[in-house]
Amino acid sequence: MRQRRRQRRGGRSGSRTPVAVNVDVVLLLSNESDRGRARAADRAMRARARRDITFARRVWRPARHRFVFRFDIHDAGPDLTRRWLGSNRRLDDLIPSGGRNFRRGHEHVDMNLDAVSALGLTAPIRVFYVPSMVTSSGGTSYPPNPHPNRPQVVQTELRGSGDQHDPGEQGMVTIRMDLRDDPHTLAHELGHMLGLGHETTDRSQIMMPRDERDPNSTLGGSVSPGYIEEAAFGAEQPNAGQDPVPSLPRRIPARR
């Protein structure tokens, strides 16, 4: 009996407190011109963000002994939406440069940097729900770079594996509303933010790319123990700490 009690006490003392990974979620207003349709679209965005957060918490629940996500939702409002997206209310993260070629845009970088001061964001991960964007994927992530757990940064839609992110991009995720309504996107991109790459074999894993994921396997929302340990390493690094973005000059001119 005494031996059992000693073992139990030892087990408790060896446990660790889960790391809190804070996420600021920013909602940008609809690009609908009709007022009634715009209000409906904005309500749909808020509902989707809440549903995506619920789904992401469920997907990453098996990791709760190592880390937990904490979310705070912010509404950008009409002025900031126009300031960041312009009159078309589309995130021009890429700009056409002839034929099927594109060059880098800067709207997403300006938005990421300006949102910290404009909305008082403090989380190291910032998720922006936008009405539309040029990038063809449903979501894009820009993990801290270089990530301490990988010799190369995680591949994203805009940068190949091993390329360096613009410092102003780091820590941001963009999710578009005008593509297929996919509850997996947020949970998947959060995995990238903690250093996970794409799954290549198990179609039930959340890190499998959207078009290859098995929709009949718990909505494609499984997380293997190996992924949890790798993501936990990312969550415990300074890159997942409390410094939102580097101090860089804002490229958005002051409003007059």
> How many domains does the structure of the chain reveal?
1
**Helix or strand or coil: residue 72?**
strand
Residue 244: exposure state from Cβ atoms within 10 A (0-12, 13-18, ≥19):
buried
Closest C-alpha among 83, 157, 172, 168 to residue 126: 172
pLDDT value of residue 241: 43
Q: Who has greater pLDDT, 35 or 24?
A: 24
| Residue 95: pLDDT band with limits 50, 70, 90 | low
Q: Say how far apart CA 63 and CA 182 lie, in whole Å.
A: 22
Query: Domain for residue 8, yes or no?
Result: no
Query: Domain for residue 145, yes or no?
Result: yes
Q: Say how far apart CA 239 and CA 194 lie, in whole Å.
A: 9
Query: Domain for residue 202, yes or no?
Result: yes
Q: At what angle do helices 184-193 and 35-59 cross, to 10 degrees?
A: 60
Q: Say how far apart CA 235 and CA 225 lie, in whole Å.
A: 15
Query: Domain for residue 49, yes or no?
Result: yes
Q: Name the residue range of residue 181's domain.
A: 18-240
Q: Say how far apart CA 184 and CA 81 lie, in whole Å.
A: 25
Query: Domain for residue 43, yes or no?
Result: yes
pLDDT value of residue 140: 87
Query: Domain for residue 225, yes or no?
Result: yes
Query: Domain for residue 219, yes or no?
Result: yes
| Average pLDDT of the residues of the chain | 76
Q: What is the DSSP-derived secondary structure letter of residue 141?
A: E
Among the residue ranges 129-133, 155-159, 227-231, the one predicted with the least confidence is 155-159
pLDDT of 150 above 80: no
Query: Domain for residue 56, yes or no?
Result: yes
Among the residue ranges 76-80, 105-109, 227-231, 252-256, the one predicted with the least confidence is 252-256
Average pLDDT over residues 27-44: 86
CATH of residue 146's domain is: 3.40.390.10
pLDDT value of residue 94: 66
Task: Give the tens place of pLDDT for each residue, 230-253.
Answer: 888 878 775 554 455 544 444 444
| Residue 48: pLDDT band with limits 50, 70, 90 | very high
Q: What is the pTM of this model?
A: 0.80
